[in-house]
Amino acid sequence: MIETKQYTAGEELVNLFTANREMYNEGCPVFMNGAREAALEKFYKAGIPSKSNEDYKYTDLRPVFQNDFEVVPRYVEQSVDLHEIFKCDVPQLNSHIILLINGWYYGRNRRVGEFPEGVICSSLQHAANEHPEIVEKHYNKYAAASADPMVNLNTAMAKDGLFFYVPDNVTIEAPVQVINIMYSKENTLALQRNLFVLGKNSEARIVFCDHTLNENYYILNNLSECHIEPDSRFGFFSVQNQHNGAVNITSFFANVEKNALLDTNTVTLNGGVVRNNIKVQLVGEHAHANVNGLTLADEKQHVDNFISIDHAVPNCTSSQLFKNILDDHSKGVFSGQIHVFRDAQKTEAFQQNNNVLLSETAEMFTKPRLIIDADDVRCSHGATVGRIDEDALFYLRARGIGEKEARLMIMFAFADQVLSQIAVPVLRERLEDLVERRLRGELGPCQHCTLNNKK
Protein backbone atom coordinates (compact mmCIF):
# COMPACT_ATOMS: atom_id res chain seq x y z
CA MET A 1 0.00 0.00 0.00
CA ILE A 2 1.35 3.41 -0.92
CA GLU A 3 0.92 6.49 1.17
CA THR A 4 -0.62 9.00 -1.15
CA LYS A 5 -1.87 11.65 1.22
CA GLN A 6 -1.40 15.32 0.48
CA TYR A 7 -1.59 15.20 -3.30
CA THR A 8 -4.52 17.13 -4.52
CA ALA A 9 -4.67 17.39 -8.26
CA GLY A 10 -4.18 15.69 -11.59
CA GLU A 11 -0.49 16.32 -11.73
CA GLU A 12 0.04 14.47 -8.48
CA LEU A 13 -1.88 11.47 -9.82
CA VAL A 14 0.41 11.50 -12.83
CA ASN A 15 3.43 11.68 -10.54
CA LEU A 16 2.08 8.84 -8.47
CA PHE A 17 1.75 6.71 -11.57
CA THR A 18 5.20 7.49 -12.96
CA ALA A 19 6.83 6.85 -9.60
CA ASN A 20 5.10 3.48 -9.30
CA ARG A 21 4.84 2.46 -12.92
CA GLU A 22 6.03 -1.10 -12.25
CA MET A 23 3.43 -1.66 -9.61
CA TYR A 24 0.71 -0.44 -11.98
CA ASN A 25 1.89 -2.72 -14.75
CA GLU A 26 2.37 -5.69 -12.43
CA GLY A 27 0.08 -8.60 -13.23
CA CYS A 28 -1.45 -7.00 -16.30
CA PRO A 29 -0.76 -8.07 -19.90
CA VAL A 30 1.08 -5.84 -22.36
CA PHE A 31 -2.05 -4.65 -24.14
CA MET A 32 -3.45 -3.20 -20.92
CA ASN A 33 -0.19 -1.60 -19.88
CA GLY A 34 0.46 -0.33 -23.40
CA ALA A 35 -2.75 1.68 -23.30
CA ARG A 36 -1.75 3.39 -20.05
CA GLU A 37 0.90 5.77 -21.38
CA ALA A 38 -1.16 7.44 -24.13
CA ALA A 39 -4.12 7.79 -21.77
CA LEU A 40 -1.91 9.24 -19.05
CA GLU A 41 -0.54 11.77 -21.50
CA LYS A 42 -4.06 12.85 -22.46
CA PHE A 43 -5.08 13.04 -18.82
CA TYR A 44 -1.99 15.05 -17.95
CA LYS A 45 -2.73 17.62 -20.66
CA ALA A 46 -6.40 18.03 -19.77
CA GLY A 47 -6.15 17.77 -15.99
CA ILE A 48 -9.07 17.24 -13.65
CA PRO A 49 -12.11 18.61 -15.52
CA SER A 50 -13.40 22.00 -14.42
CA LYS A 51 -16.22 24.18 -15.71
CA SER A 52 -14.04 25.43 -18.53
CA ASN A 53 -14.40 21.98 -20.06
CA GLU A 54 -17.68 22.28 -22.02
CA ASP A 55 -18.55 18.66 -21.18
CA TYR A 56 -18.19 19.43 -17.46
CA LYS A 57 -19.78 22.88 -17.65
CA TYR A 58 -22.05 22.18 -14.69
CA THR A 59 -19.90 19.68 -12.77
CA ASP A 60 -16.56 20.94 -11.54
CA LEU A 61 -14.56 17.92 -10.38
CA ARG A 62 -11.56 19.83 -9.09
CA PRO A 63 -12.97 20.36 -5.57
CA VAL A 64 -13.74 16.66 -5.13
CA PHE A 65 -10.11 15.79 -5.86
CA GLN A 66 -8.91 18.27 -3.23
CA ASN A 67 -9.50 15.85 -0.37
CA ASP A 68 -6.84 13.40 0.74
CA PHE A 69 -7.32 9.82 -0.34
CA GLU A 70 -5.45 6.64 -0.97
CA VAL A 71 -4.93 4.85 -4.24
CA VAL A 72 -4.44 1.11 -3.99
CA PRO A 73 -2.68 -0.47 -6.96
CA ARG A 74 -2.87 -4.02 -5.56
CA TYR A 75 -5.75 -6.17 -4.45
CA VAL A 76 -6.12 -6.23 -0.68
CA GLU A 77 -7.96 -9.14 0.89
CA GLN A 78 -10.72 -8.10 3.28
CA SER A 79 -10.67 -9.24 6.86
CA VAL A 80 -14.42 -9.82 6.89
CA ASP A 81 -16.38 -12.13 4.64
CA LEU A 82 -18.48 -9.82 2.48
CA HIS A 83 -20.95 -12.62 1.81
CA GLU A 84 -21.87 -12.48 5.47
CA ILE A 85 -22.92 -8.88 5.02
CA PHE A 86 -24.91 -9.47 1.84
CA LYS A 87 -27.71 -11.94 1.74
CA CYS A 88 -30.29 -11.60 -0.98
CA ASP A 89 -33.92 -12.26 -0.11
CA VAL A 90 -35.33 -11.89 -3.60
CA PRO A 91 -35.26 -15.41 -5.03
CA GLN A 92 -35.39 -14.23 -8.64
CA LEU A 93 -32.38 -12.00 -8.13
CA ASN A 94 -30.07 -14.26 -6.15
CA SER A 95 -29.00 -16.73 -8.82
CA HIS A 96 -25.76 -14.93 -9.49
CA ILE A 97 -24.27 -12.47 -7.03
CA ILE A 98 -20.85 -11.09 -7.77
CA LEU A 99 -19.05 -8.87 -5.31
CA LEU A 100 -16.50 -6.23 -6.20
CA ILE A 101 -14.64 -4.27 -3.55
CA ASN A 102 -12.98 -0.88 -4.06
CA GLY A 103 -12.84 -1.56 -7.78
CA TRP A 104 -11.41 -5.09 -7.46
CA TYR A 105 -13.05 -8.42 -8.12
CA TYR A 106 -13.64 -9.91 -4.68
CA GLY A 107 -11.25 -12.79 -4.00
CA ARG A 108 -13.75 -14.93 -2.13
CA ASN A 109 -16.74 -14.71 -4.48
CA ARG A 110 -18.79 -17.86 -3.92
CA ARG A 111 -22.31 -16.92 -4.92
CA VAL A 112 -21.66 -16.90 -8.64
CA GLY A 113 -24.14 -19.51 -9.82
CA GLU A 114 -23.83 -22.03 -12.61
CA PHE A 115 -23.61 -20.45 -16.04
CA PRO A 116 -24.12 -22.17 -19.39
CA GLU A 117 -21.00 -23.59 -20.95
CA GLY A 118 -18.53 -21.07 -22.33
CA VAL A 119 -19.71 -18.14 -20.23
CA ILE A 120 -16.84 -16.40 -18.48
CA CYS A 121 -17.49 -14.34 -15.39
CA SER A 122 -14.31 -13.35 -13.60
CA SER A 123 -11.83 -10.72 -12.60
CA LEU A 124 -10.82 -8.62 -15.59
CA GLN A 125 -7.13 -8.92 -14.78
CA HIS A 126 -7.46 -12.67 -14.52
CA ALA A 127 -9.37 -12.85 -17.82
CA ALA A 128 -6.87 -10.60 -19.56
CA ASN A 129 -4.17 -13.17 -18.77
CA GLU A 130 -6.27 -16.32 -19.24
CA HIS A 131 -8.38 -15.30 -22.25
CA PRO A 132 -6.32 -12.64 -24.01
CA GLU A 133 -7.87 -13.64 -27.36
CA ILE A 134 -11.22 -12.22 -26.21
CA VAL A 135 -10.13 -9.42 -23.91
CA GLU A 136 -7.49 -7.88 -26.15
CA LYS A 137 -9.93 -7.70 -29.05
CA HIS A 138 -12.20 -5.37 -27.09
CA TYR A 139 -10.16 -3.82 -24.29
CA ASN A 140 -9.98 -0.05 -24.68
CA LYS A 141 -11.43 -0.25 -28.20
CA TYR A 142 -14.48 1.87 -27.41
CA ALA A 143 -13.12 4.18 -24.71
CA ALA A 144 -9.77 5.05 -26.32
CA ALA A 145 -11.12 7.85 -28.53
CA SER A 146 -12.65 9.69 -25.59
CA ALA A 147 -11.31 13.10 -24.64
CA ASP A 148 -12.82 12.82 -21.16
CA PRO A 149 -10.00 13.13 -18.60
CA MET A 150 -11.79 10.76 -16.22
CA VAL A 151 -11.93 8.09 -18.93
CA ASN A 152 -8.26 8.54 -19.65
CA LEU A 153 -7.38 8.47 -15.96
CA ASN A 154 -9.18 5.15 -15.77
CA THR A 155 -7.35 3.65 -18.75
CA ALA A 156 -4.06 4.84 -17.27
CA MET A 157 -4.50 3.52 -13.74
CA ALA A 158 -7.26 0.91 -13.53
CA LYS A 159 -6.15 -2.71 -13.13
CA ASP A 160 -9.21 -4.78 -12.42
CA GLY A 161 -12.96 -5.10 -12.38
CA LEU A 162 -15.50 -7.48 -13.82
CA PHE A 163 -15.15 -9.40 -17.06
CA PHE A 164 -18.28 -11.01 -18.41
CA TYR A 165 -18.43 -12.98 -21.63
CA VAL A 166 -21.44 -14.69 -23.20
CA PRO A 167 -20.65 -16.91 -26.21
CA ASP A 168 -22.72 -17.03 -29.41
CA ASN A 169 -26.30 -18.32 -29.11
CA VAL A 170 -26.28 -18.44 -25.30
CA THR A 171 -29.07 -16.93 -23.23
CA ILE A 172 -28.67 -16.28 -19.53
CA GLU A 173 -32.16 -16.10 -18.10
CA ALA A 174 -31.57 -14.86 -14.58
CA PRO A 175 -30.25 -11.34 -14.08
CA VAL A 176 -26.66 -11.24 -12.88
CA GLN A 177 -26.36 -9.06 -9.82
CA VAL A 178 -23.14 -7.19 -9.24
CA ILE A 179 -22.59 -5.59 -5.85
CA ASN A 180 -20.00 -2.90 -6.19
CA ILE A 181 -18.78 -1.96 -2.74
CA MET A 182 -16.61 0.83 -1.40
CA TYR A 183 -15.26 -0.22 1.97
CA SER A 184 -11.96 0.84 3.43
CA LYS A 185 -10.43 2.18 6.60
CA GLU A 186 -9.05 5.13 4.65
CA ASN A 187 -10.44 7.66 2.22
CA THR A 188 -9.98 5.97 -1.12
CA LEU A 189 -9.85 6.62 -4.86
CA ALA A 190 -10.83 3.41 -6.63
CA LEU A 191 -10.29 2.78 -10.33
CA GLN A 192 -12.39 0.02 -11.75
CA ARG A 193 -12.51 -1.37 -15.26
CA ASN A 194 -15.16 -3.73 -16.60
CA LEU A 195 -15.61 -5.43 -19.94
CA PHE A 196 -18.78 -7.11 -21.19
CA VAL A 197 -18.77 -9.07 -24.45
CA LEU A 198 -21.92 -10.61 -25.88
CA GLY A 199 -21.49 -13.05 -28.75
CA LYS A 200 -23.90 -13.32 -31.66
CA ASN A 201 -27.53 -14.00 -30.84
CA SER A 202 -26.88 -14.07 -27.11
CA GLU A 203 -28.75 -12.51 -24.25
CA ALA A 204 -27.92 -11.37 -20.73
CA ARG A 205 -28.81 -8.78 -18.13
CA ILE A 206 -26.63 -7.26 -15.46
CA VAL A 207 -27.83 -5.36 -12.43
CA PHE A 208 -25.01 -3.22 -11.14
CA CYS A 209 -25.38 -1.80 -7.64
CA ASP A 210 -22.98 0.80 -6.25
CA HIS A 211 -22.70 1.02 -2.46
CA THR A 212 -20.57 2.49 0.25
CA LEU A 213 -20.21 0.52 3.45
CA ASN A 214 -18.88 3.18 5.77
CA GLU A 215 -18.72 6.92 5.93
CA ASN A 216 -15.22 7.39 4.57
CA TYR A 217 -14.64 9.67 1.61
CA TYR A 218 -14.61 7.73 -1.64
CA ILE A 219 -14.05 8.48 -5.27
CA LEU A 220 -15.00 5.66 -7.58
CA ASN A 221 -13.85 6.04 -11.17
CA ASN A 222 -15.56 3.13 -12.88
CA LEU A 223 -15.44 2.40 -16.59
CA SER A 224 -17.31 -0.30 -18.49
CA GLU A 225 -16.88 -1.22 -22.11
CA CYS A 226 -19.52 -3.30 -23.70
CA HIS A 227 -19.51 -5.00 -27.08
CA ILE A 228 -22.77 -6.45 -28.38
CA GLU A 229 -22.56 -8.64 -31.46
CA PRO A 230 -25.29 -9.01 -34.07
CA ASP A 231 -28.76 -10.18 -32.96
CA SER A 232 -27.89 -10.01 -29.24
CA ARG A 233 -29.80 -8.43 -26.40
CA PHE A 234 -28.03 -6.86 -23.44
CA GLY A 235 -29.62 -5.21 -20.44
CA PHE A 236 -27.50 -3.09 -18.11
CA PHE A 237 -29.22 -1.68 -15.07
CA SER A 238 -27.28 0.53 -12.74
CA VAL A 239 -28.55 1.29 -9.24
CA GLN A 240 -26.53 3.89 -7.41
CA ASN A 241 -26.96 4.23 -3.67
CA GLN A 242 -23.83 5.64 -2.11
CA HIS A 243 -23.55 8.01 0.81
CA ASN A 244 -23.40 11.78 0.45
CA GLY A 245 -19.63 11.92 0.87
CA ALA A 246 -19.02 9.60 -2.04
CA VAL A 247 -18.07 10.59 -5.56
CA ASN A 248 -19.15 8.21 -8.29
CA ILE A 249 -17.76 8.79 -11.78
CA THR A 250 -19.06 6.07 -14.05
CA SER A 251 -18.43 5.71 -17.77
CA PHE A 252 -20.26 3.22 -19.93
CA PHE A 253 -19.27 2.65 -23.55
CA ALA A 254 -21.41 0.40 -25.72
CA ASN A 255 -20.70 -0.78 -29.23
CA VAL A 256 -23.91 -2.16 -30.69
CA GLU A 257 -23.82 -4.23 -33.86
CA LYS A 258 -26.40 -5.18 -36.44
CA ASN A 259 -29.87 -5.98 -35.19
CA ALA A 260 -28.66 -5.96 -31.58
CA LEU A 261 -30.43 -4.35 -28.67
CA LEU A 262 -29.04 -2.42 -25.74
CA ASP A 263 -31.34 -1.62 -22.89
CA THR A 264 -29.89 0.47 -20.09
CA ASN A 265 -31.32 2.28 -17.14
CA THR A 266 -29.41 4.30 -14.57
CA VAL A 267 -31.22 4.89 -11.31
CA THR A 268 -29.46 7.23 -8.93
CA LEU A 269 -30.99 7.01 -5.47
CA ASN A 270 -28.18 8.59 -3.45
CA GLY A 271 -24.65 9.85 -3.81
CA GLY A 272 -22.54 12.92 -3.12
CA VAL A 273 -21.33 13.81 -6.58
CA VAL A 274 -22.42 11.46 -9.34
CA ARG A 275 -21.37 11.66 -12.95
CA ASN A 276 -22.63 9.09 -15.43
CA ASN A 277 -21.08 9.10 -18.88
CA ILE A 278 -22.96 6.91 -21.30
CA LYS A 279 -21.74 6.62 -24.86
CA VAL A 280 -23.55 4.32 -27.25
CA GLN A 281 -22.40 3.69 -30.78
CA LEU A 282 -24.89 2.03 -33.10
CA VAL A 283 -22.57 0.57 -35.71
CA GLY A 284 -24.75 -2.07 -37.41
CA GLU A 285 -28.04 -1.50 -39.19
CA HIS A 286 -31.26 -2.07 -37.26
CA ALA A 287 -29.47 -1.78 -33.93
CA HIS A 288 -31.55 -0.26 -31.16
CA ALA A 289 -30.70 1.41 -27.87
CA ASN A 290 -32.91 2.40 -24.95
CA VAL A 291 -30.99 4.70 -22.67
CA ASN A 292 -33.01 5.73 -19.66
CA GLY A 293 -32.35 7.15 -16.26
CA LEU A 294 -33.94 8.43 -13.09
CA THR A 295 -32.38 10.62 -10.44
CA LEU A 296 -33.76 11.36 -7.01
CA ALA A 297 -31.56 13.86 -5.24
CA ASP A 298 -31.78 15.87 -2.06
CA GLU A 299 -29.54 17.59 0.50
CA LYS A 300 -26.44 18.73 -1.40
CA GLN A 301 -26.30 15.86 -3.84
CA HIS A 302 -25.12 16.59 -7.37
CA VAL A 303 -26.01 14.22 -10.20
CA ASP A 304 -24.85 14.71 -13.79
CA ASN A 305 -25.97 12.38 -16.58
CA PHE A 306 -23.94 12.88 -19.73
CA ILE A 307 -25.32 10.87 -22.64
CA SER A 308 -24.17 10.55 -26.20
CA ILE A 309 -25.67 8.30 -28.83
CA ASP A 310 -24.04 7.95 -32.23
CA HIS A 311 -26.09 6.73 -35.15
CA ALA A 312 -23.20 5.71 -37.37
CA VAL A 313 -25.18 3.67 -39.92
CA PRO A 314 -28.69 3.78 -41.43
CA ASN A 315 -31.88 2.26 -40.02
CA CYS A 316 -31.04 2.37 -36.32
CA THR A 317 -33.32 3.56 -33.58
CA SER A 318 -32.67 5.00 -30.16
CA SER A 319 -34.67 6.39 -27.33
CA GLN A 320 -33.58 8.39 -24.28
CA LEU A 321 -35.71 9.20 -21.29
CA PHE A 322 -34.17 10.90 -18.27
CA LYS A 323 -35.99 12.32 -15.29
CA ASN A 324 -34.82 14.19 -12.23
CA ILE A 325 -36.63 14.91 -9.00
CA LEU A 326 -34.59 17.44 -7.05
CA ASP A 327 -35.10 18.55 -3.47
CA ASP A 328 -33.23 20.66 -0.89
CA HIS A 329 -29.95 22.06 -2.27
CA SER A 330 -29.45 19.33 -4.84
CA LYS A 331 -28.29 19.95 -8.39
CA GLY A 332 -29.26 17.94 -11.43
CA VAL A 333 -27.52 18.00 -14.79
CA PHE A 334 -28.57 16.35 -18.00
CA SER A 335 -26.65 16.52 -21.22
CA GLY A 336 -27.97 14.27 -23.93
CA GLN A 337 -26.71 14.15 -27.45
CA ILE A 338 -27.98 12.42 -30.54
CA HIS A 339 -25.53 12.42 -33.42
CA VAL A 340 -26.78 11.16 -36.76
CA PHE A 341 -23.81 10.60 -39.03
CA ARG A 342 -23.71 11.48 -42.70
CA ASP A 343 -25.73 8.90 -44.67
CA ALA A 344 -27.23 7.29 -41.55
CA GLN A 345 -30.62 7.60 -43.24
CA LYS A 346 -33.88 6.31 -41.78
CA THR A 347 -32.60 6.97 -38.28
CA GLU A 348 -35.24 7.35 -35.62
CA ALA A 349 -33.91 8.91 -32.45
CA PHE A 350 -35.86 10.42 -29.62
CA GLN A 351 -34.86 12.08 -26.41
CA GLN A 352 -36.88 13.35 -23.51
CA ASN A 353 -35.74 15.03 -20.32
CA ASN A 354 -38.22 16.05 -17.63
CA ASN A 355 -37.34 17.60 -14.32
CA VAL A 356 -39.17 18.57 -11.20
CA LEU A 357 -37.81 20.97 -8.61
CA LEU A 358 -39.25 20.49 -5.14
CA SER A 359 -37.41 23.16 -3.19
CA GLU A 360 -36.50 26.82 -3.46
CA THR A 361 -32.85 25.93 -3.63
CA ALA A 362 -32.65 22.96 -5.98
CA GLU A 363 -31.23 23.63 -9.45
CA MET A 364 -31.47 21.91 -12.79
CA PHE A 365 -29.21 22.33 -15.82
CA THR A 366 -30.19 20.62 -19.01
CA LYS A 367 -28.50 20.54 -22.37
CA PRO A 368 -30.31 18.35 -24.88
CA ARG A 369 -28.45 18.32 -28.17
CA LEU A 370 -29.08 17.14 -31.72
CA ILE A 371 -26.36 16.88 -34.35
CA ILE A 372 -28.01 15.78 -37.56
CA ASP A 373 -26.02 15.16 -40.74
CA ALA A 374 -28.57 13.13 -42.71
CA ASP A 375 -31.92 14.31 -44.00
CA ASP A 376 -34.22 11.30 -44.07
CA VAL A 377 -34.44 10.94 -40.32
CA ARG A 378 -36.93 11.35 -37.53
CA CYS A 379 -35.32 12.98 -34.55
CA SER A 380 -36.72 15.01 -31.75
CA HIS A 381 -35.97 16.09 -28.26
CA GLY A 382 -37.93 17.71 -25.57
CA ALA A 383 -36.97 19.08 -22.18
CA THR A 384 -39.03 20.51 -19.38
CA VAL A 385 -38.27 21.98 -15.99
CA GLY A 386 -41.10 22.69 -13.66
CA ARG A 387 -42.73 22.11 -10.35
CA ILE A 388 -45.19 19.46 -9.45
CA ASP A 389 -48.39 19.72 -11.49
CA GLU A 390 -50.66 21.82 -9.25
CA ASP A 391 -53.78 20.97 -11.23
CA ALA A 392 -53.17 17.25 -10.80
CA LEU A 393 -52.50 17.83 -7.12
CA PHE A 394 -55.75 19.69 -6.72
CA TYR A 395 -57.64 17.00 -8.61
CA LEU A 396 -56.38 14.33 -6.23
CA ARG A 397 -57.11 16.43 -3.17
CA ALA A 398 -60.61 17.14 -4.45
CA ARG A 399 -61.11 13.38 -4.41
CA GLY A 400 -60.18 13.30 -0.73
CA ILE A 401 -56.51 12.35 -0.91
CA GLY A 402 -54.34 14.17 1.58
CA GLU A 403 -51.83 16.63 0.15
CA LYS A 404 -48.75 14.73 1.24
CA GLU A 405 -50.00 11.47 -0.19
CA ALA A 406 -51.17 13.20 -3.35
CA ARG A 407 -47.74 14.72 -3.86
CA LEU A 408 -46.14 11.33 -3.43
CA MET A 409 -48.53 9.79 -5.91
CA ILE A 410 -47.74 12.41 -8.53
CA MET A 411 -44.00 12.18 -7.98
CA PHE A 412 -44.09 8.42 -8.09
CA ALA A 413 -46.09 8.47 -11.30
CA PHE A 414 -43.52 10.88 -12.75
CA ALA A 415 -40.65 8.58 -11.76
CA ASP A 416 -42.41 5.42 -12.78
CA GLN A 417 -42.44 6.46 -16.43
CA VAL A 418 -38.75 5.66 -16.38
CA LEU A 419 -38.96 2.53 -14.24
CA SER A 420 -41.81 1.09 -16.30
CA GLN A 421 -39.36 0.89 -19.21
CA ILE A 422 -37.40 -1.84 -17.40
CA ALA A 423 -38.27 -5.07 -19.16
CA VAL A 424 -37.31 -7.33 -16.22
CA PRO A 425 -40.42 -7.46 -14.01
CA VAL A 426 -38.69 -8.55 -10.82
CA LEU A 427 -36.14 -5.81 -11.13
CA ARG A 428 -38.73 -3.23 -12.05
CA GLU A 429 -40.83 -4.07 -9.00
CA ARG A 430 -37.78 -3.96 -6.76
CA LEU A 431 -36.81 -0.55 -8.07
CA GLU A 432 -40.34 0.77 -7.82
CA ASP A 433 -40.31 -0.25 -4.18
CA LEU A 434 -36.94 1.43 -3.59
CA VAL A 435 -38.01 4.60 -5.36
CA GLU A 436 -41.23 4.81 -3.44
CA ARG A 437 -39.37 4.43 -0.15
CA ARG A 438 -36.82 6.98 -1.29
CA LEU A 439 -39.61 9.44 -2.09
CA ARG A 440 -41.12 8.81 1.33
CA GLY A 441 -37.75 9.51 2.89
CA GLU A 442 -37.54 5.98 4.25
CA LEU A 443 -34.51 4.90 2.26
CA GLY A 444 -31.29 6.37 3.52
CA PRO A 445 -28.08 6.28 1.57
CA CYS A 446 -26.05 3.19 2.07
CA GLN A 447 -28.33 0.81 3.84
CA HIS A 448 -26.03 -1.98 2.88
CA CYS A 449 -27.25 -3.71 -0.23
CA THR A 450 -30.43 -2.00 -1.27
CA LEU A 451 -31.58 -5.06 -3.14
CA ASN A 452 -31.11 -7.08 0.04
CA ASN A 453 -32.90 -4.70 2.26
CA LYS A 454 -35.31 -6.51 4.55
CA LYS A 455 -38.53 -4.65 5.04
Partner 1 sequence: MTEQDKILEKATSEDYKFGFTSDIETDIIDKGLNEDVVRIISAKKEEPEWMLEFRLKAYRNWLKMEMPNWAYLKIPPIDYQSISYYAAPKKKPQLSSLDEVDPELIETFNKLGIPLEEQKHLAGVAVDAVIDSVSVKTTFKETLAERGIIFCSFSDAVKEYPDLVKKYLGNAVPAGDNYFAALNSAVFSDGSFCYIPKGVRCPMELSTYFRINSANTGQFERTLIVADDDSYVSYLEGCTAPMRDENQLHAAVVEIIAMERAEVKYSTVQNWYPGNKEGKGGIYNFVTKRGICRGDHSKISWTQVETGSAVTWKYPSCVLLGDNSHGEFFSVALTNNHQQADTGTKMIHIGKNTRSLIVSKGISAGVSNNSYRGLVKVSKRAENARNFSQCDSLLMGDKCGAHTFPYIECANKTAILEHEATTSKISEDQVFYCNQRGIKTEDAIGMIVNGYAKEVLNKLPMEFAVEAQKLLAISLEGSVG
For partner 1, give the closer residue by CB, 291 or 377.
377
Q: Which residues bind partner 1 (CB under 8 A)?
A: 54, 58, 342-343, 345, 355, 357-387
User: Minimum CB separation from partner 1 for residue 40, in Å?
Assistant: 26
* Nearest distance, CB of residue 391 and partner 1, angstroms: 12
Nearer to partner 1, 214 or 384 (CB): 384
Q: State in angstroms the smallest separation of the CB of 305 from partner 1.
A: 14
Long-range contacts of 431-438 (CB under 8 A, 24+ apart): 431/239, 431/267, 434/239, 434/267, 434/269, 435/267, 435/269, 435/294, 435/296, 436/408, 436/412, 438/269, 438/270, 438/296
Q: What are phi and psi of 441, to 5 degrees?
A: 80, 20
How far apart, in Å, do the first and last CA atoms of the chain sit?
39
What does residue 281 show for φ and ψ, rounded to 5 degrees? -115, 120
Nearer to partner 1, 41 or 376 (CB): 376
Nearer to partner 1, 190 or 344 (CB): 344
Residue 206 C-beta-side C-alpha neighbours within 13 Å? 26
Q: How far is the CB of 331 from partner 1 (least distance, A)?
A: 9
Q: Which is nearer to partner 1, 255 or 335 (CB)?
A: 335
Please report how close the Cβ of residue 384 comes to partner 1 at its closest, in angstroms.
5
**Shortest Å, Cβ 58 to partner 1:** 8
- Residues facing residue 351 across a β-bridge: 320, 381
Cβ atoms of residues 162 and 123 within 8 Å: yes
Residue 36 or 323 with smaller CB distance to partner 1: 323
Give 205's contacts (C-beta < 8 A, 6+ positions apart).
172, 175, 176, 234, 235, 236, 237, 424, 427
